[in-house]
Chain A
Amino acid sequence: MEKRIFDNPADPSLDRVDGRVKVTGKATYSAEYAVPNLAHAVLVTSTIAKGVITGIDAEKANSAPGVLAVISHLNAPKVPGWGSAAQPAERAPIGTSFRVFYDHFVYFDGQPVAMVVADTHERAVYAASLLKITYQSEKHRTHFEANVQQAIVPLNVQRNKTSPFADYDRGEKGQVEAHIEAEYTIPTQHHQPMEPHAIVAVWEAEDKLTVYDKNQGVKSAQGQLAQAFKIPRENVRVIAKYIGGAFGSGIRVWPHTIAAVLAAKHVGRPVKLVLGREQMFTSVGYRPYTVQKLTIGASKNGKLTSITHEGIGQTSAYEEHLERTILASRSLYACPHVSTRYRLLSLDVNTPTWMRGPGDATGMFALESAMDEMAFALNIDPLDFRIKNYAELDQERNLPWSAKSLKECYVLGAEKFGWKNRKLEPKSMQKDGVLVGYGMASSLYGFHRHPSKARAVMQADGSVIVQSATMDIGPGTGTAMTRIAAKVLGIHAKMVRFDLGDSALPDAPGQNGSSTIPSVGSAVHDVCVALRDRLIEMAFEMPGFATKEKSQVVVRNGQVLASMADTNGVSFGDILKHHHRNELEISAESKSGPERDQYSMYSFGCHFVEVEVSPFTGEVHVTRVVTCADVGTIINYKTARSQSIGGIVGGIGMALMEESAMDHRYGRYVTSDFSSYHIPVHADIPPIEVYYIDKPDVHVNPIGSKGLGEIAIVGVAAAVANAVFHATGKRIRQLPITPDKLI
């Protein structure tokens, strides 16, 4: 595949294919499906962190106007997939997904304990306020530092010794002439997409369910709902065509979804549930509070001799959530001796989940901060230090990289940023009375490709409908897939329609782990290649074509042409017409092969950040960012660039302001809205320059493209923290870097 196969002057980026519906307000999000006879549900959540529900006084609520039902563990319909109906005497053992309205146990503050359903939203909300729930509290543990001694090797790892999260040691410690040791903390952070999670649940028949649910994987939601309600998979339809952001919050089917489905069953009407913003803090997971210790040894000339990376992440009392926190330290740099340890601390909180750049955004904050500290200790430029320790192969797996242009990223990013103007000494650059700092960090994210199916249906007019049950939580899936289809079939993008977000479509993975383009993009590529080849075969069955040389044939402008030079071929429409076909349908499945065992596959990148820090107020303003990534082929530069910018914005939030604060006396979040949980606003975000190496990685998949969504945020927080150190001489190891930490 040649360089810049997609974006070049002759073939510029597509505008978002769903741009028009989104700017006109016509895109339909989950809560917006107009279903007849819709009832409105409101979730009521626990106000204690651990204990049992001793009573639910629903009398007033039940008699409030318009109320259809008050549902709780006392009267909820059974979920057949959860087994016995008897009230369990014991708390669920760890490894049990939370079962909503199942029993009287409270596992975390903000746990759904009841639901009020009424004919209008206003009435449901009011009735919910009349509900009186009593509890018997037990002593809860939510404070990370106070309980950290109880962190353990995850049970998951204890059972599975080959787990990547098992203790890892490689090599011998070389000569340590310089040494740093530091502890880094990231607080709990929440995805908080602009669209709150919402569902409209409709029981079409006793065993037939349709849900319009905000999630990141219609097929996995379909499977989980079918399993829970013990109905055939094909009887569950999950629709999520437009999703107002998710960033990981929609990867699982959460309790509120089950609750709404139960409520719809209970009242015998379709039910709509929209989570309140405060409920978004306890209902859909979060990036877990994590403490990490990094020890780095190096020789005087700047060669790494040892990296020890220990990470302890928070999880709930009923489930383990593991993430890649310590894994990058094994692969990113050349280092003879690497040790990693990963532990989990169970607390009385809800289960964390994957949030953009899961694990790596956390781990790379620590590793890339520590690398900066080591460079400072060695009096070496932080970028030079990284280049000195460039890993030419993956030492963890002892495999070559499928492709790695990180060095090119470093060079290009540094040049565009003007890194050479950086003075080595911290606190040495000032402008108009403010401190200026330059910081950088590397980025990586593992390559994920899952088996995916796609269907392509050529229409009589030569247009094509391509379908796959993939998702678009914002990156522009439909746009990228349209681009791939149009390119392979040699047709204008306007002749392609891409359908997604419906479990009735061909199997595809959920949108997570930056796997959509690698997985579904490959399936779309393959199905369009198959369609193209079938059209060529059909053309050869037509008079005048049989004599041509098959290897010379090309498709262009919706035609099969005998050769590149041919200008007068046969149109796809005419091919179908000749064969008396109204349409031509092809399906394909695409998946990884043996290359996964032959190469180590990652996306790579780096970020360069300039900050200004007020010496009086401690306020940090990011004033410039340059980011550069090597993610293989860029399918659509315009939307890819936006995804990179979005990752930087998320990283700036992570670095400077995002923190879900809990009052541990109550085990309850004090941050419960956008006024107390800050995410960046327009005024926080400077111009961001984005560059790509844009060379296909020929080993990963037929389109040579790797994931971009996660790598966009990985390392950003460290780059900001490193810039703050350079500006102020203060090393902040506990995020977020709020003004109080700098005055």
Chain B
Amino acid sequence: MKPFQYLRPKTIREAISMAAEDPDARYIAGGTNLIDLMKRGIVSPSKLIDINHLPLKKIEHKGDRIHIGALALNSEVAQNKLVTVRQPLLVKALLAGASGQLRNMATVGGNLLQRTRCSYFYDTALPCNKREPGSGCSAKEGINRTHAIFFYGNETPSCIAVHPSDMCVALAALDTAVVVTGPNGERRLMMKDLHRLSTAQPELDTYLAPGELITSIEVLDNVFDKHNHYLKVRDRASYAFALVSVAAALRMEEGKIWDARVALGGVAHKPWRYWAIELMLKGKEPSEALFREVADHELKSATASGQNAFKIKMTSNAIVAALKTAAGIS
């Protein structure tokens, strides 16, 4: 690991000015992904700006939403009464991720910014467009069992890696804004506008500007607390990244679906909100047949790269299973 200067700002403003000073500086919060990347020589910051002591941990309900500070730990969010009562889907997703220890370390902001777990990205001996733009994507014709099946439009993806987060899948399904602060002030991004697809600049995972700092997220109140499910399909029973995951939330009244949210993990370069399904479910009576019909709809546009062909059927099955559980039908 390259030597770095360790910095500990006292205020958000100080942190941002530190970052603005040096394009090779990086913020560090939980460190559970960044330190991993630094050990492998994938990221070599000149300065490490430790933001853990900034006042960004608060979880509170104001108006029509929960505000969650970017430094709130995954475990704190999962245990917080406001969240467990109002956003159980988020709690389920958080608890499906990582391990007790990692959830005690990883922050909300860091989870949003965690990088793909594609093996080629982590192996500096092999080509990877995300690590070294222009070097090529080893996964496309390589070991790609865990890779993406959804891409944007007709462009050829320069990277077929998937976003690894569980939390983000729930946040994508729910209506979430990400609040960021940078040299030019504060702005809000919708969850869907935070992460990038992989077409032009695969080295960039998000639309954050250099030096911008995520300070909080806001999750809008909803009526999905009774009918929701996070289904994670993986190679072992716990402590593994998703092959496919589904965050499903329904608002049901009088036996009918009034509103629906479905987002997928493990299938795209970003958490994949399944908008089409949501429209198709509205006003319908829940049934396995309906769920299968809507699940298969967008999967027609899925593209396998070889070893991950199974993900198309698995995604469809997982959507059906998640919706059935959310709807409470067996």
B238 touches A682 (CB 8 A): yes
Report chain A residues within 8 Å CB of B243: 739-740
A684 adjacent to chain B (CB < 8 Å): yes
Whole-angstrom distance between the alpha carbons of A164 and B88 in the complex?
Answer: 62
Report chain B residues within 8 Å CB of A621: 237
Whole-angstrom distance between the alpha carbons of A403 and B192 in the complex?
Answer: 68
Report chain B residues within 8 Å CB of A663: 126, 138, 142-143
Q: Mark contacts of B217-246 with chain A using CB atoms, 8 A cut-off: 1 yes-contact digit, 0 otherwise.
A: 000000000000001011111111101000
Interface size on A, residues (CB 8 A): 36
B122 adjacent to chain A (CB < 8 Å): yes
Stretch from B47-55, B279-287, B317-325 forming part of the interface with A: B317-325
Report chain B residues within 8 Å CB of A122: 1
B119 touches A672 (CB 8 A): yes
Whole-angstrom distance between the alpha carbons of A39 and B55 in the complex?
Answer: 42
B2 adjacent to chain A (CB < 8 Å): yes
B120 adjacent to chain A (CB < 8 Å): yes
Q: With A617-B318, A672-B122 known to touch, is A739 a contact of B235 (CB < 8 Å)?
A: yes
A405 adjacent to chain B (CB < 8 Å): no
B123 touches A668 (CB 8 A): yes
B310 adjacent to chain A (CB < 8 Å): yes
Report chain A residues within 8 Å CB of B3: 126
Report chain A residues within 8 Å CB of B189: none
A705 adjacent to chain B (CB < 8 Å): no
Whole-angstrom distance between the alpha carbons of A619 and B235 in the complex?
Answer: 7
**Which of A433, A616, A738 is most buried by chain B, counting CB atoms within 10 A of its CB?**
A616
Q: How close is B239's CB to chain A, nearest CB, in angstroms?
A: 5
A616 touches B320 (CB 8 A): yes
Stretch from A240-248, A249-257, A673-681 forming part of the interface with B: A673-681
Q: Mark contacts of A664-708 with chain B using CB atoms, 8 A cut-off: 1 yes-contact digit, 0 otherwise.
A: 011010111101101011111000000000000000000000000
A683 touches B314 (CB 8 A): no
A656 touches B314 (CB 8 A): no
Whole-angstrom distance between the alpha carbons of A122 and B313 in the complex?
Answer: 46
A683 touches B236 (CB 8 A): yes
- With beta carbons under 8 angstroms apart, the residue of B138, B239, B240, B317 that contacts A616 is B317
Q: Mark contacts of A314-332 with chain B using CB atoms, 8 A cut-off: 1 yes-contact digit, 0 otherwise.
A: 0000000000000000000
Report chain B residues within 8 Å CB of A657: 235-236
Report chain B residues within 8 Å CB of A614: 321
Report chain A residues within 8 Å CB of B2: 126, 129
Report chain B residues within 8 Å CB of A668: 123, 125-126
Report chain B residues within 8 Å CB of A681: 236-240
B236 touches A680 (CB 8 A): yes
B65 adjacent to chain A (CB < 8 Å): no
A618 adjacent to chain B (CB < 8 Å): yes
- Nearest-neighbor residue (CB-CB) of A128 within chain B: B41
Q: With A663-B143, A668-B125 known to touch, is A617 a contact of B235 (CB < 8 Å)?
A: no
Q: Mark contacts of B123-147 with chain A using CB atoms, 8 A cut-off: 1 yes-contact digit, 0 otherwise.
A: 1011000000000001001110100
Whole-angstrom distance between the alpha carbons of A516 and B235 in the complex?
Answer: 35
A740 touches B125 (CB 8 A): no
A340 adjacent to chain B (CB < 8 Å): no
A47 adjacent to chain B (CB < 8 Å): yes
Report chain B residues within 8 Å CB of A670: 119-120, 123, 142-143
Report chain B residues within 8 Å CB of A666: 125-126, 138
B237 touches A683 (CB 8 A): yes
Whole-angstrom distance between the alpha carbons of A125 and B236 in the complex?
Answer: 32
Within 8 A of B (CB), among A365-402: none
Report chain B residues within 8 Å CB of A546: none
**Which of B236, B318, B330 is most buried by chain A, counting CB atoms within 10 A of its CB?**
B236
A743 adjacent to chain B (CB < 8 Å): yes
Q: How close is B39's CB to chain A, nearest CB, in angstroms?
A: 8
Report chain A residues within 8 Å CB of B235: 656-657, 678, 738-739
Whole-angstrom distance between the alpha carbons of A122 and B2 in the complex?
Answer: 9
Q: How close is B263's CB to chain A, nearest CB, in angstroms?
A: 17
A617 touches B236 (CB 8 A): no
Q: Mark contacts of B297-323 with chain A using CB atoms, 8 A cut-off: 1 yes-contact digit, 0 otherwise.
A: 000000000000011011001101100
Whole-angstrom distance between the alpha carbons of A531 and B117 in the complex?
Answer: 60
**Which of B237, B238, B239 is most buried by chain A, counting CB atoms within 10 A of its CB?**
B237
Whole-angstrom distance between the alpha carbons of A201 and B321 in the complex?
Answer: 56
A148 adjacent to chain B (CB < 8 Å): no
**Which of B3, B143, B231, B330 is most buried by chain A, counting CB atoms within 10 A of its CB?**
B143
Whole-angstrom distance between the alpha carbons of A666 and B123 in the complex?
Answer: 12
- With beta carbons under 8 angstroms apart, the residue of A47, A617, A671, A672 that contacts B233 is A617
Whole-angstrom distance between the alpha carbons of A359 and B2 in the complex?
Answer: 44
A433 touches B330 (CB 8 A): yes
- Nearest-neighbor residue (CB-CB) of B240 within chain A: A678
A661 adjacent to chain B (CB < 8 Å): yes
B314 touches A671 (CB 8 A): no
Q: Mark contacts of B241-274 with chain A using CB atoms, 8 A cut-off: 1 yes-contact digit, 0 otherwise.
A: 1010000000000000000000000000000000
Q: With A129-B41, A668-B125, A670-B120 known to touch, is A617 a contact of B237 (CB < 8 Å)?
A: no
Report chain B residues within 8 Å CB of A683: 236-239
B125 touches A47 (CB 8 A): yes
Whole-angstrom distance between the alpha carbons of A6 and B274 in the complex?
Answer: 63
Q: Which 10 A-B pairs have the closest CB atoms?
A: A740-B310, A683-B237, A683-B238, A47-B125, A616-B321, A616-B317, A670-B143, A617-B233, A670-B119, A684-B237
A-B residue pairs in contact (CB < 8 Å), sample of 25: A125-B1, A126-B1, A126-B3, A614-B321, A616-B317, A616-B318, A656-B235, A662-B143, A663-B138, A663-B142, A666-B125, A668-B123, A673-B122, A675-B240, A675-B241, A676-B119, A678-B240, A681-B237, A681-B239, A683-B236, A684-B237, A739-B235, A740-B243, A740-B314, A743-B310
Could you list 11 further interchain pairs (A-B, Cβ under 8 angstroms) beyond the known A617-B321, A681-B239? A617-B231, A619-B234, A621-B237, A657-B236, A663-B142, A668-B126, A670-B143, A678-B240, A681-B237, A683-B236, A743-B313
